[in-house]
Amino acid sequence: MGAGLCHEETTMKCPICKHGETKPGKASVTLERGGATLVFRNVPAEVCDNCGRRFILRK
C-alpha cells in the first residue's frame, strides 16, 4: 500500500509450525450454535505460508 514508510508488521511467525510466516488473507469460519451452523465467508485472517493454518483476527 504505502511506499514502505512505516515499519508495519503484518507478518508474524506461525505459532503452529514455528517456521512459516503468516500473511493477510481470507478465511471461511464455521460456527455451531445450538444446532445451527453459521458460516462466515471472507473473514480477514492471517494465513501461514508454510502449513496453511489460518488465524482469525479478532478486534
Is residue 12 close enough to count as binding Zn ion by CB under 5 A? no
CB of 17 to Zn ion, least distance (A): 3
Among 21, 50, 54, 55, binds Zn ion (CB under 5 A): 50
Residue 48: phi and psi, rounded to 5, are -75, 130
45 sits near Zn ion (criterion: CB under 5 A): no
Nearest to 23 by CA among 52, 54, 48: 48
Distance between CA 19 and CA 17 in Å, rounded? 5
- Using CB under 5 A as the criterion, which residues of the chain lie in contact with Zn ion when the complex forms? 14, 16-17, 20, 48, 50-51, 53
